């Protein structure tokens, strides 16, 4: 019988799957995967754990099982020695431990974007320097050194990275890979004090947005530039742009349907697309990788980095403005330049109604009125007609 393939090892469903000659892949209901060698000699049968598939490859498991079988059949006492061998092999590198930690936790996260950004943060900032180090050798000095380049440059990202490193090391300790709990409290003491922020995203004044949009449109048509323009046109969150796929768009009806799992509130959100957003999408659609691909991606299946749009801002000389801040620019514009009721502007931003009773009775999403509002916003930032207001009877009635 042919043995398992690498693909089968990754995709096998819960159960015990034979590879041959006493080697089994055991997949538990939780999704964890481990190797077990079943040895039989002199009428006795014993099972030996060889480690998780995240730490022991298929070829390594076959070699270990063959060596174990040979020693056992030769009458050698392998129990204690094998246990020591497994313990030595059971210390994964930091990247493998992080991916195992991520796999163990992600089923409890409702938000897909958090699931993907959690591991992406480590891929971008930690794996290049610490990924190949044994997880039990990661100390506070190593963590300080990996955070130092981004500690002041992107403070929030640095703090989240520190938290996630701590989660991985805690996971490593509970699995017996580290002899003690992570002691990362001293890391902050070895880094400069981060500047205090008021908790709000830095926003561009709304009357400066039209000139900035004109500047963006004069730049080469890169993926990052297009993603930023589209985010400003639609005033969505950056992750909603980054993970957008072509099946979500109906360009004939000019509607973008964002599925619930990608929304912060966990509810489907319909975005009325202004003409400028549709034109941008039509241009990108002409060179799409496939009909179900990501709309904004530099290399096919991998989403655009969250920092790519920020870099466009920084290169344009806006050192403190954030991508998320354009939602505040839109809010200020709607309040100052239109008579739009706040609940319509809030729906355009997919904000939740804080009052549960009011939310239970208000079922409308103001879609038609939001379309008028979004067309007015696009007209403002595209032509800077600040003295012209949208037809208020259409928005407010």
Rounded Cα distance, 45 and 39, in Å: 6
Q: What three-state secondary structure class fits 99?
A: helix
Fold of 94-190: DNA polymerase; domain 1 (1.10.150)
Q: What three-state secondary structure class fits 263?
A: coil
Residue-wise pLDDT tens digits, 237-266: 999 999 999 999 999 999 999 998 888 777
Q: Beta-carbon neighbour count of residue 264 at 10 Å? A: 15
Residue 391 has pLDDT above 50, yes or no: no
Fold of 6-89: Double Stranded RNA Binding Domain (3.30.160)
Q: Which of 66, 64, 67, 57 is nearest to 86 (CA)?
A: 64
CATH for 206-396, options being 1.10.443, 3.40.50, 2.60.40, 2.70.70: 1.10.443
Residue-wise pLDDT tens digits, 141-191: 999 999 999 999 888 889 999 999 998 998 888 877 887 777 787 898 889
Structure tokens at 138: 């990661």
Sign for the CA dihedral angle at 189, 195, 196, 197 comes to negative
Matching CATH topology for 6-89 and 206-396? no
Confidence at residue 301, expressed as pLDDT on a 0 to 100 scale: 76
Q: What is the mean pLDDT of residues 76-80?
A: 53
Residue 77 has pLDDT above 60, yes or no: no
Under the banding of pLDDT at 50, 70 and 90, the label for residue 75 is: low
Residues 11-31 as b/e (b if ≥16 CB within 10 A, e otherwise) read ebeeeebebeebbbbbbeeee
Residue-wise pLDDT tens digits, 371-384: 999 999 999 998 75
Confidence at residue 369, expressed as pLDDT on a 0 to 100 scale: 93
In the chain, where the domains are located: 6-89, 94-190, 206-396
Backbone angles phi, psi at 257, to 5 degrees: -105, 110
Q: What is the mean pLDDT of residues 323-347?
A: 90
């Amino acid at each position: 019988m042919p043995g398992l393939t690498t693909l089968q090892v990754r995709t096998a469903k819960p159960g015990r799957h034979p590879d041959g000659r006493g080697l089994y892949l055991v997949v538990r209901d939780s999704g964890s995967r481990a190797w077990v060698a079943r040895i039989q000699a002199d009428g006795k049968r014993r099972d030996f754990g060889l480690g998780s598939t995240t730490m022991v490859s298929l070829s390594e498991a076959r070699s270990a099982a063959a060596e174990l079988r040979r020693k056992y059949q030769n009458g050698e006492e392998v129990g204690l020695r094998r246990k020591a061998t497994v313990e030595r092999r059971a210390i994964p590198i930091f990247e493998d431990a992080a991916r195992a930690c991520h796999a163990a936790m992600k089923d409890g996260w409702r938000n897909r974007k958090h699931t993907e950004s959690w591991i992406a943060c480590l891929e971008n900032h930690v794996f290049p320097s610490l990924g190949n180090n044994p997880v039990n050798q990661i100390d506070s000095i190593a963590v300080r050194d990996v955070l130092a380049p981004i500690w002041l440059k992107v403070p929030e990202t640095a703090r989240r990275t520190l938290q996630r490193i701590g989660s991985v090391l805690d996971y490593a300790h509970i699995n017996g890979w580290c002899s003690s709990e992570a002691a990362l409290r001293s890391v902050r003491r070895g880094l400069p004090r981060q500047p205090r922020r008021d908790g709000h995203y830095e926003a561009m004044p709304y009357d400066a947005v039209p000139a900035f949009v004109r500047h963006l449109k004069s730049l080469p048509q890169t993926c990052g530039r297009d993603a930023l323009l589209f985010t400003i046109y639609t005033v969505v969150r950056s992750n909603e742009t980054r993970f957008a796929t072509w099946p979500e768009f109906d360009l004939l009806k000019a509607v973008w349907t964002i599925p619930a799992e990608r929304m912060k509130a966990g509810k489907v959100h319909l975005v009325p697309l202004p003409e400028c957003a549709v034109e941008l999408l039509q241009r990108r659609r002409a060179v799409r990788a496939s009909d179900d691909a990501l709309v904004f991606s530099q290399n096919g299946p991998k989403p655009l980095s969250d920092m790519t749009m920020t870099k466009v801002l920084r290169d344009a000389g806006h050192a403190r403005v954030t991508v998320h801040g354009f939602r505040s620019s839109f809010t200020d514009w709607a309040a100052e330049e239109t008579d739009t009721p706040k609940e319509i502007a809030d729906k355009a931003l997919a904000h939740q109604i804080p009052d549960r009773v009011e939310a239970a009775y208000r079922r409308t999403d103001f879609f038609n009125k939001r379309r008028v509002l979004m067309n007015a916003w696009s007209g403002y930032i595209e032509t800077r007609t600040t003295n012209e207001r949208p037809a208020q009877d259409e928005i407010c009635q």
